[in-house]
Structures are given as structure tokens and as C-alpha cells.
Structure 1
Amino acid sequence: MTTTPVIASDASRARSGLGRALDVINIIADRAPESLGVSAIARELGLPKAVAHRILKELVADEFLNFDEETKRYRLGAGALTVGLAALRAMNVPDIARRYLVRLVRTSGETATLSVRQGWYRVYVDQVLSSHEVRMSVSLGTSHPLHSGSSSKAILAALSDTEVDDYLDNQPLEAVTPSTITSAIQLRAELARIRRHGYAVSKGERQSGAGSVAAAVRYSTGQVFGSISLCGPQDRFTPEVCAAHGALVAAAAAEISGELGFRAPAQRIATGGTDPVATRH
């Protein structure tokens, strides 16, 4: 019995070629603003150098990549920018985040919110309410300073050190409630904890009697869009619950950011135990 060799169709060959071209684009995008040479690209993707060179040549011809004659290295070109800007225009962050808010409510039982940063304030733009009879709701469109409450602190902690210094130097740390952090020293310690754990905790800092956890959402550039949170009556937000809900919002915020094109190195998210700052109120 003889067997007939399987010959790949034109469509499968084209798909394979497209896949390899996308691999090349993605590795150059991941390394930006660093540029890469053909040898490094071929080695990291496991491609023959001749194949990598052919793909690169085609992408340069289409202006998707730029080639530096002096360094012999490649970087993203105008074509990539055009596609990237079109993708950004098509993105509606609240629409993307909505299904994650629904999932958070289903998993935790608490109200989930989305806030957007506006300068030194942030504004609630969406929420999905808890099914509990006793639950928390927020007023959409209201603005709050970046030092009061978990949604605000998550945003502030995600900003650069320079921006944090600017906020502390120029914005009054006014008490919104008796539990609001009004000391720059204590706030810096709190921001360090948020960066370390990946989420912020509030117990009555913005609204007396309310507890919440939140994590920042970023654009593809790394700039902060805003934050998502879980919130409810303070007595339900024990240290153990804050740790569990904090892990949930941190994971959801990372997924939303990923859909917006943000890529970050893996970070350890605390999922248990108590924290001196989280239990200070």
C-alpha cells in the first residue's frame, strides 16, 4: 500500500507565513524602544536567518518596520503606528471592562466599579451592583482626590515617582472622612504597600462604613487609565476577605490592561495573610 504525501494548501502556507511575520512584529514590539538585528530575531524565534531576513525585508517594504543602515537593526515603522492608532480608536475601555466587573460581582458578591483618572482626581464611570440586600453603590460622574479610597490610591500608586512627588507637594491631603490618610509619610508607606501587593485597600477612607479593594488599569503605553474596585459594607471586608478580593481585582485589572495592549513583567500578588496597613482603620 502506498501513501500519498500530504501537501500543504496555499491557504495553510500563507497562514504559516503570516504567523511567522506576526511573530517577528511582536518580538520587535516587545523590545521597543530597543531595536533588533536579524540574527537576534532569527535566534529568538527559532527561524533560519534567511527566512527571518526575507520576512523583515517584506515588512520594511510595507513600512511596517524601519531599517537602520548604520546599526543594521530593525524597529517598528509608520505602518505599525497606523494599525496601533486604529486599534486604540476602536477600544472603548468601559465596554471592555464591563464583563470583568460582571465577573467580579459574580465571584465576590460585592459591587464592582470602574473609575477613570482625570488629572489629580478620578471619576466613577461604571458599576455593577451586588445582589446583597445590604450593598454599596456609587454615584457615577462624581470626582474624588487621588489620596482617599482604594480606587484613588490604586491610581496614585501606579503613577511614576515624579508624579507622586508632584501630587504630595502640590495637593492638600484633606480628610474626606476621619479615616482618610492625611500624612504624606503615611501615604508614601501606603503607596509602597500597594505597589508591593498589587492592590489598594480602604476601610472608611472615602465613605465612612464602606470597605473596598482596587487595582489600576493601564493603557498599552503604560499610562494609567484608572482603576477597578470591589466595594461593600466595611464589616464584610475583613483582612482575609480583603486579601482574597484584592487578588481578584488585581487579576481582572491585569486582564483589562492586557486587552488594552499593556504588557508587564509578572508580579507577585499577595493572596493571604494580614497587612499592617490594610488593618489600620
Structure 2
Amino acid sequence: MKSGLLGVVGYPIGHSVSPVMMNAALNASGRENILYIAVEAKPRDLERFVSSARYMNFIGFNVTIPHKVSVIKFLDRLHREAKLVEAVNVVKFVGEKKVGYNTDVIGVEACLTEPVNGKAVVLGVGGGARAAAIALWRKGFDDLFFAGRRLSTMNEFRKFIMRRNISARIVKFGSAELAQAIKQAELLVNATPVGMYPNTDSSPIPSNLIHRKLTIFDMVYNPVETKLLKVGKARGAKTINGIKMLVAQGAEAFRIWLGEDPDEKVMAKAALTALRRRR
């Protein structure tokens, strides 16, 4: 039976409950000889970790903020979904090769099961936003807005959607265009880390932009109910937290690494229990 390490690499990484969730899944499937750990790596240290992970007996690892795009240049090959999204959140060692995958699209799709259409606004232009762009494009959204802060990342995202023939407008946080788009939107997706532990008093947008016809999906899962979701609920909007995405993308990563289905109920329970203990 396969043995070794799995893990998640990001910066910072202290907020992550992936080790608790994934180790629960490993134990439930009788994989006690595999351990899932968190690895904190600053951007300047990412290449060193990726190049040395196989020699530390890693089977593979997850990739989280802020490395989902930058990790690509250190890999040997991309799976078709990672090629499409141009972002990687799962790496698997296949022989001598480091292969990148993307399971975030599956995670987004798992959260948007009910029919929602019309105008959608995505906050962010990073790896999570790329996954959201592909998922929303597949679901038939044709009126998309994306919001960014830095012109450099906004321009990179603009090139990405052009390569994918996705029709969308890219606006700046704090702009009148973004405010107007949110007021007219039926779906709002937060693909930024704003509101994530420990900065739980932060919200990516002003409260007065939220309305009762809005469905708000926040990719942040720690805390389970972010300030954005709390305000949304108070103002009559429908809210979707990030736990379902966390579990869905993690379960797909498990299948990629080990070739079997994990117990997703065990994963969700472990993640929620860990988050409650951190309050």
C-alpha cells in the first residue's frame, strides 16, 4: 500500500483546516501510512519546496494562496483542466514528473447547483477567480464582471479571459462600475482572501451594495460565516459558504493522488469541527 506525505503549500497557511480534513479522510479509508501536513512557503521559497518535495517522500500536495499561478513554472506538465484554468491547486508526482491539476472548478460548480443566471460579479482576479470564470462560463453566464486592485494582475486576467474567449468586463475595486454591477447582479462570488481568519472583521465590498435578490458565494471557509455572508444574510441575500467548495476540491484531489473516493461527510464534519474549535 502506498505510503508517504501529502500536504498543502501556501503563505500564510495557519488558517488552513485542510490537514485536519484530509487526515480524517485518510484515516477513514484505512490510509494511516499517509500523513497530510501544512507547509508555509513564501513566494521566494516556493521553487525550493516544489523541487525538493519528491525527495521528502511527497506523493503530491495542494497549492493555495498566493501560489496557484506562480507554481506552474516549476511543474513538468499540466492536466487539461489546469491548462484551461491556467492555475494549479493540486500537484501529483508521476514518476519523475510533477503534474499540475485544477480541482477548484469542480469546487465552484459544486456550490452553484441551483439555477442562477443573469449578471455575475466575481471579486478577485487570481487563481480562484480563474476557476470561477471557467465554471460560470460553463453554466452559461454571459454577463460577467471581475474586480481587481492592481493593474498588473487585472491585465494578466484580461489576457486570460481573452485566450479563453470568455466575454467579461474587468473593473477596479471601489469604482462606480463595480458598484453598479453589484446592484444589478444576481450572483456575487468572493474569490479574494478578504474576510479570512484572522482578519474576520473585513469585507471586500461596502454593505450598502448588497440586496435581497443577490446570491453570495464566498470561497473563504475560515470563518464559516464571513462578515460578507453575515451582512448578506441580514440584508436578505442568499448565502453560500466556502466549506462545500473546500470539501469538493479536496475530494477530487484525493481521487487524483490515491485513485479512490474519500468519505466526503467525514471530511466536512472534520473541517467544521476544526473551525468551531478555533473560534
Which range, TM-score by smaller chain?
Answer: 0.3 to 0.5
| TM-score, normalised via structure 1 length | 0.32
Query: Higher relative contact order at CA 8 Å, sep ≥6: structure 1 or structure 2?
Result: 2
Between Structure 1 and Structure 2, whose CA radius of gyration is higher?
1
| TM-score, normalised via structure 2 length | 0.32
